[in-house]
Structure 1
Amino acid sequence: MNHVLCGLAANEALPYELVGRLIAVADADIADALAARADLSHEQALDLAARVEESAARLAYEGRLTAADIDPLAQPEAALALLDAGCGAPEWPRLFAQDPDPERRAKLAACPGLPADVRESLACDPDVQVVAELALWTTADMAARLARHPHAEVRRAVAGNEATPPQVLAMLITGEGLPPAERCLVCDREETPYAHDPHCPRLDCDLRSGASCAGSHESTLHEMADQALRNPATPIAALLRFADHSSALLRWELAARPDLPPQTAAQLADDPVPGVRADLAQNPAIDDATIRVLAADRGHDVQRRLAHNPRVPLDVLSDLAATTKIGPSLPPRIASASPSEIEDLSRSSNPTVRMLLAERRDLPAEIRDLLADDPDAKVVKSIARHPGLSEAQLRSMVERHGAQVSAKVAANPETPSALLEDLTRHVPPVRKGLREIARHPNATGPALLVCLTDGRARRVAAGHPALPPEAIVELLADCDWQVMEAAAANPSLPLVVMAELIPEPHGA
């Protein structure tokens, strides 16, 4: 891969004529970057598709090519991309429904708006994976029909389709009203009973991890239940049977359902698996009684997840903040706090509560300023990115708390250039601060030159338009490919250098 040319292909300042020269020498990697250019003309898109065949699909998805530009026989992937985007020619679905390549038929099956006769053809496809792909994306009436398909893999896909009628999803779970599945991918290929070796050495084996069949297609039916549990269209009444299922994975999925009834939530609050209780703790469907039970749960991640439940009472959240490592994030309950609650939280004796409040970016000026003067560094770190803080306030934070807060001050989008330069002079250097300065729109050339001394900041600073041009040119030969690519994509790279970087096409 030529990282310099890949970066150059993404350079927004690359002139039209140099884009054309780059297309003439593009390989697949360069073409991928060129296809994403906002200024790529239709003519250039055609040239790029002709130069690098595999770029046609990306160009189609980007809207650079139309059906009139594509020959579906010569460029099938691009044609399928247009069908997937709803922009293909009306005759293409029938063409691809008869394609000898099952992977193309499967891609067609996932496309929206297929004609009824094409859906019928795909529903009878000899390759079960094609039928399963149709089942996953098709309309409600076809999904209802495919729920009766004899292959368990197709039923598994129907269970994941959100267009499947709720009563059909319930039938898949209970089995009532449906004949038993006759086959699965496991018994299609292996003598049963069979359990797939998780360390299977066969290079041609594509059975999923955990696949097994003893005659009842156990692993596929388990996966079908998992799909139904994830499907918001599945009636909750059909899913309550999984509250005491032997599979922790299925109980886990049930615990996250937003339509979970209180009595089932209370049952899952006693689940032996902490992960089940943790997902339950963050579920906004749980009531106050279950919240308070989980607030005392010391299981892994339960209390932290509870703190992010939008319905957790503020008194419970305050108690959790005193005993749980929530981290500098904004819990939904604090994000929705009323003005009076904001006032109370800002006066909390617990600095962690004040830190969480400080993560809001819409605080009244008086609350913002109060938290900016907070004696606790973690509170100041959280408020430092708040809009509206003056340069004097930001400097005061750094003077009081030094390296503890300087990276967050550097991350404030309103931090002025002079302060950013001062932050780069800290001894020893604050590495996280340099990384924030490297991406800051107000960063100056001198500040960015200091950022180049840190490996991670260097990769960002190399693409900053305020970096001096001579430094950008030097970075084109850097030993780190990410630095090279960022420098080549820098819009301040001199035009004469851009032109010199593009080689002449072979045979020119």
Structure 2
Amino acid sequence: MDLDAELNALATQEDLPADLLRRLLPHPAARRSIALLRRDLTEDVIEEIIRLGSVRTLAANSSVPPQIRAHLAEHAEPSVRCAVAASVGDEPPGLLSRLADDPDPSVRSFLAMNEHLPPELLARLASDVEPSVRSSVTQHRRDAPDAVRRTLLADADPDIRRAAVHAYVPPADLLARLLADPVTRAAAVQHTTPTRELATDLDSDVREAIAAHPDLPVDLRDLLANDPDAFVRNAIVARADTPPALRERLVAGLEPDSPLAGWMLSFARGGGRTSPPPAERRPQRLSREQAEALLSRVGL
């Protein structure tokens, strides 16, 4: 482990004596770890972190006292307000509402991630004038209430409508409209019964979605196995119920026109996925003597 990594590990060590913690503050990386991750920050340490220039990182620490985070929510730098908005509670009352009215759309976008946001403020963000804010709601709030989902599924921005159909199960009364909309049709087909009309749609994305449908009947599977689009045929290859002989024939006939297309086809049927990296070993706890020796080595 290199020195910076050792100092970062020490910065988050539980029960680290206060005097050793303060000695770490001049080190930028260790200070950021302290500002973001420690739950035992005292007011004097918080003031020193702010003085040394790590206020944005500090603002993202949900364990900082509410009154300090409320103060940071008024900071002149939008990135600081963003960090607060993502996780702050409504303390003092009205803080979340003020953040929902922040003039910077990036702050409102980060607020959409906040799990403390009440339904009425989430609904306000779902109707925000700035598309990036509405998009943030779709991306981060898969648990959005029905009224919010309906708003986003009918959004004027085609990208948001498309993302909303991927994010939410459409209400039955909206499904016909979503299937008729060229922008949302491909994403909506997973929520309807596969038909020959959909399996022969002019849009290859629609046919590819039908090819991946869990309830695809055999006759439509065989029809799509002969589709002119390689990605549609590739979706048939990826199906667990595709007979081995048919799968082998389809794979042999997939001739990508570039290495990138070949990788995309492989990834779509599971060949590009890798196992997650092994968990890192927990750093060894240092005694006071070891910690002092480490700090002395780097002149802290």
Q: TM-score, normalised by structure 2?
A: 0.64
What is the Cα-based RMSD across aligned positions, in Å?
A: 4.1
Larger radius of gyration: 1
Q: In 2, are the aligned partners of 1:274 and 1:300 still within 8 Å (CA)?
A: no
Q: In 1, are the aligned partners of 2:100 and 2:125 still within 8 Å (CA)?
A: yes
- Which residues of structure 2 form unaligned runs of 5+? 266-300
CA distance in 1: counterparts of 2:237 and 2:174, whole angstroms: 34
CA distance in 1: counterparts of 2:123 and 2:261, whole angstroms: 49
Q: In 2, are the aligned partners of 1:407 and 1:430 still within 8 Å (CA)?
A: no
CA distance in 1: counterparts of 2:247 and 2:79, whole angstroms: 53
2:21 pairs, out of 119, 122, 136, with: 122
Residues 122-141 of structure 1 aligned to structure 2 (within 5 Å): 122-125=21-24, 127=26, 129=28, 130-138=30-38, 140-141=39-40
CA distance in 1: counterparts of 2:99 and 2:249, whole angstroms: 59
Q: Determine if the alignment matches structure 1 residue 409 to structure 2 residue 236.
A: yes
Shift of 1:291: 4.8
1:157 pairs, out of 57, 82, 103, with: 57
Letter matched to residue 320 of structure 1: L
1:235 maps to 90
Q: Determine if the alignment matches structure 1 residue 376 to structure 2 residue 198.
A: yes
CA distance in 1: counterparts of 2:152 and 2:37, whole angstroms: 38
Shift of 1:151: 1.6
Q: In 1, are the aligned partners of 2:207 and 2:224 still within 8 Å (CA)?
A: yes
Q: In 2, are the aligned partners of 1:243 and 1:268 still within 8 Å (CA)?
A: yes
CA distance in 2: counterparts of 1:394 and 1:270, whole angstroms: 40
Q: Determine if the alignment matches structure 1 residue 275 to structure 2 residue 132.
A: yes
Q: In 1, are the aligned partners of 2:74 and 2:81 still within 8 Å (CA)?
A: no
CA deviation map 1:383-431 (0-9, x unaligned): 53467979877435425x45463221122244344223432565xx553
Shift of 1:249: 0.9
Q: TM-score, normalised by structure 1?
A: 0.41
Letter matched to residue 60 of structure 2: G
1:108 maps to 9
SS in structure 1 opposite 2:173? helix
CA gap 1:460/1:381 in 2 versus in 1, 3 angstroms: closer
CA distance in 2: counterparts of 1:417 and 1:105, whole angstroms: 53
Letter matched to residue 180 of structure 2: A
Shift of 1:143: 6.1
1:170 maps to 70
CA gap 1:115/1:249 in 2 versus in 1, 3 angstroms: same
Residues 308-327 of structure 1 aligned to structure 2 (within 5 Å): 308-310=166-168, 313-323=171-181, 325-326=183-184
1:356 pairs, out of 178, 187, 190, with: 190
SS in structure 1 opposite 2:128? coil
Residues 449-460 of structure 1 aligned to structure 2 (within 5 Å): 455-456=259-260
Q: In 1, are the aligned partners of 2:73 and 2:81 still within 8 Å (CA)?
A: yes
Shift of 1:106: 4.2
2:106 maps to 249
CA distance in 2: counterparts of 1:392 and 1:311, whole angstroms: 27
CA deviation map 1:184-240 (0-9, x unaligned): xxxxxxxxxxxxxxxxxxxxxxxxxxxxxxxxxx44xx3222111223x54374232
Q: Percent identity?
A: 24
Q: Determine if the alignment matches structure 1 residue 419 to structure 2 residue 258.
A: no
Aligned residues: 255
Q: In 2, are the aligned partners of 1:269 and 1:294 still within 8 Å (CA)?
A: yes
CA deviation map 1:417-474 (0-9, x unaligned): 4223432565xx5539xxxxxxxxxxxxxxxxxxxxx64587799xxxxxxxxxxxxx
